[in-house]
Amino acid sequence: MTTVSDKTGLAPGTLIHVGQAPDTPGRITAIDYARDFLEEFEVHRVEDLLPCRQRKSITWVNIEGLNNIGFIESLGAHFDIHPLVLEDILNTHQRPKIEEHEQYLFLALKHVSIDPDELAVDYEQVSMLIFEDFVFTFRERSDDLFQPVRDRLTQEKSRLRGNGVDYLAYVILDNIVDNYFSLQDALDIILESVEEDLLAQPGPETLALIQRVKRELIFIRRSISPVREILTELLRSDSPLIQEKMHVYYRDILDHAIRLLESIDAYRDLITGMLDVYLSSVSNRMNEIMKVLTVFASIFIPLTFVAGIYGMNFEYMPELKWKWSYPVLWLFFVLVPIFLLVYFRRKKWL
């Protein structure tokens, strides 16, 4: 793993993959399509893409795995991509952002997935370059995240086939943002389980769980919140790559992003409330413990004292000689606890 501070001192624009090096080898696939044809092929060199440039078609190139630096450098050279953009694609500790360049739009986003059982959140940087008739997507992993997009492309009558790169970009973005909602579902499940814990038997591990959820919410928020800015900027910009009539679609993603962020804020408020409940349950338990101690001590300490009195060895203790002393004392031993128990019950301690 390479971290960002390892890059300190390097010339800006130096291409190094910063992030968790994936075990799987990278894979580059391209789909070249127009309304009436579709071709899918694997790409080995940038030159494989050049024929598509001639045709009046849209080409979506999906680069999975970021350790093929040679390919990315060559891509930069052929498509005249700014070195800082290439650097941002490879540096996966990037803040999600959008950049308008003359020939293309650059977007960097986070694909966030969660395993609710282990509360393990996984972040993957997904970058996108939108050219006039090319869309490049860069991913760290190889999985089926983009399968629904591919499926829809293969249907000849889908709206996707009849529209331009802006619609393709929208569908890809929408796919990523839609995935955030399964995040929300997972968080719902987790919060519910925290709540059950709180009702049942809250212990230090409940606190640890609350803190972990809080922490993950901080990081999830940080990954998702820039999506709002990105889309706002996209809608405000007058890039010729995004047609006016597409705005209604992008605004739809924006709405989803805002709703999601509001949910995350609500989750933070809820988890803070749960922390309050936990802390107060600790206090309540302390009260319980103290009540038991106080009841035991208050009942038996006075009685022990009385027993102590008649354990004294004075010669002149007339009561010791009386016949009824002992039974009367037993009566006392029985009545005092009863009286105290009634008193404590009145105080709602029992």
Instruction: Give the footprint of a copy of itself on residues 135-164 (CB under 8 A).
Output: 147-148, 152, 158-160
282 part of the interface to a copy of itself, by CB under 8 A: yes
Q: C-beta of 47: minimal distance to a copy of itself in Å?
A: 26
Contacts (Cβ under 8 Å, ≥6 apart) of 61: 28, 29, 30, 43, 49, 134, 135, 136, 137
State the minimum distance, in angstroms, from the CB of residue 48 to a copy of itself: 29
Nearer to a copy of itself by Cβ, of 54 and 283: the residue is 283
Contact code string over 24-63 relative to a copy of itself, x by CB under 8 A: ----------------------------------------
Least distance between a copy of itself and beta carbon 155 (Å): 9
Nearer to a copy of itself, 24 or 158 (CB): 158
DSSP state of 135: E
Of 31 and 49, the one with the shorter C-beta distance to a copy of itself is: 31
Residue 243 touches a copy of itself, criterion: CB under 8 A: no
- What is the rounded distance in angstroms from the CA atom of residue 196 to the CA atom of residue 222? 28
110 CB neighbour count, 10 Å cutoff: 22
How far is it, in rounded angstroms, from Cα 85 to Cα 105? 10
- The per-residue DSSP string of 74-118 comes to HHHHHHT--HHHHHHHHBTTPPPEEEE-SS-EEEEEEEEEEETTT
Give Cα 190 to chain centroid, integer Å: 11
Interface characters, 189-228, with a copy of itself (x: CB under 8 A): ------------x--x--xx--x--xx--xx--x------
What is the token pair recorded at 122?
Answer: 């996984």
Which CB, 49 or 139, lies closer to a copy of itself? Answer: 139
350 closest CA partner among 303, 273, 300, 294: 294
Q: Judged by CB, which is closer to a copy of itself: 50, or 350?
A: 350
8 touches a copy of itself by CB under 8 A = yes
Residue 119: which residues within 8 A CB-CB, separation 6 or more? 190, 209, 212, 213, 216
Taking the least distance from each CB to a copy of itself, the nearer of 237 and 294 is 294
- Beta strand pairing status for 58-64 and 134-139? parallel
Beta carbon nearer to a copy of itself, 119 or 270: 270
CB of 279 to a copy of itself, least distance (A): 6
Parallel, antiparallel, or unpaired for β 97-100 and 105-115? Answer: antiparallel
Among the listed residues 286, 338, 342, 350, the single contact to a copy of itself using CB under 8 A = 286
Binding residues for a copy of itself, how many (CB under 8 A)?
Answer: 110
Q: Is 340 helix (H, G, I), strand (E, B) or coil?
A: helix
CB of 293 to a copy of itself, least distance (A): 4
For residues 43 and 60, which CB has a smaller minimum distance to a copy of itself in the complex?
60
Beta bridge partners of 130: 105, 135
Q: How far is the CB of 340 from a copy of itself (least distance, A)?
A: 9
Give CA–CA dist 254/248, Å, rounded: 10
Are 253 and 171 in contact by the 8 Å Cβ rule? The answer is: no
- Residue 22 near residue 67, CB atoms below 8 Å: yes
Minimal distance in Å, beta carbon 45 to a copy of itself? 26
The one among 294, 335, 339, 345 contacting a copy of itself by CB under 8 A: 294
Q: Which of 132, 269, 339, 350 binds a copy of itself (CB under 8 A)?
A: 269
Verify binding: residue 319, a copy of itself, rule CB under 8 A.
Answer: yes
Are the beta carbons of 179 and 145 closer than 8 angstroms? yes
Residues numbered 70 to 99 that lie near a copy of itself (CB under 8 A) are: 82, 84, 88, 93-95, 97, 99
Complex with a copy of itself: residue 66 or 149, whichever CB lies closer: 149
CA distance 5 to 116: 31
